Structures are given as C-alpha cells and as structure tokens.
Amino acid sequence: MKIVVIQGPNLNMLGVREQSVYGPMRLEQIHAQMKEVAVQNGIEIEFYQSNLEGELVDRIQECYGDADGIIINPAAYTHTSIAIRDAIAAVNLPTIEVHISNIYRREEFRQKSMTAPVCTSSVIGFGPFGYHLAMMGMMQILGEINALRQAQQQQQQETAEA
C-alpha cells in the first residue's frame, strides 16, 4: 500500500511563515511523524512539495498506477487551480485534502476550495495534527477498499467453482 503526500506553495516555509496561523512545526517534522505512522503500519509513503502549479499537476499524474491514495494540501492553489482539481479528478484515487488552518474562518477568498469537490474527504483546521488525522482516514478508506476487493474476489471464485 502506497500513500503520496503532496504539499503546495509556501508549505516549505512552515515553522517560519505566519506562526500565529500555522504554528511552529516545520514541514520536515510533520513528514517525520507521518513516516513513523506509515512504517508502524507497513505502508509505503512518499513526500513531495512544490511551489509550482504545473509540478504539482505532474506529481498528481504520476500517482496514477503507482499510488493507492493521495494526501494533498494544495495551499493557495486550493482557491484558484482548476488544473490541480482536474488532475485529482483524472487519477481518480482516494484523495484527502488537508488544511492546517480553518479556511472557513479566514478571508473570504480562502473560503472556496476548487479542489475539495473532487477529493474523497477533507481535514480542516486541526493544525499540523490534521496530517495525522488524514493518515488515519486514508488507512481506513484503503482498508475498506481492500476488504471490498477481497469479498468480490471470493465471490468470483465461488461463482467460478459452482
């Protein structure tokens, strides 16, 4: 099972940028915690951060046929990027959108997500802990998909044997 974590613009500045909004934790620390959970659960995990919209689109596309799920914080592109929305829809993988801050309590321009409607679910406003919640959510979703696949396979086998 493989999860890819994709981080949008300025998230490489976590721990430095607007600490009153995003807190003191650095991106590397968040990723280290996620990695720990992944290792404990036998899950492969990869991390990617870019400040460029096209690179984020490329990384989402690369998940097709390679990853089982995506955890993404598109950051400012959440509110503007039809290209990132289309890429998420195109690969059609379980995708969880994360926002560290509660975008619905902030400026009006942050209150619209272009990407959330094509994601499986969203985790918003829990601070960096949201990434941990997203990991838990993704493991639950992938577990359910696996169980469903196994049940289908068993049913097919039973039908073939009958």
Token look-up 């890429």 returns 87
Smallest separation, CB 125 to ligand DQA (Å)? 8
In the bound state with ligand DQA, the residue whose beta carbon lies nearer, of 12 and 41, is 12
Which of 103, 116, 118, 119 forms a contact with ligand DQA (CB under 6 A)? 103
A 10 A CB-CB count for 48 gives 16
Which of 73, 95, 115, 122 forms a contact with ligand DQA (CB under 6 A)? 73
Is 99 a residue of the active site? yes
User: Using the rule CB under 6 A, is 123 a contact of ligand DQA?
Assistant: no
Smallest separation, CB 85 to ligand DQA (Å)? 14
Smallest separation, CB 68 to ligand DQA (Å)? 23
Q: Which of residues 7-66 bind ligand DQA (CB under 6 A)?
A: 10
Catalytic residue numbers read 22, 99
Residues in touch with ligand DQA (CB under 6 A):
10, 73, 75-76, 78, 99-101, 103, 110
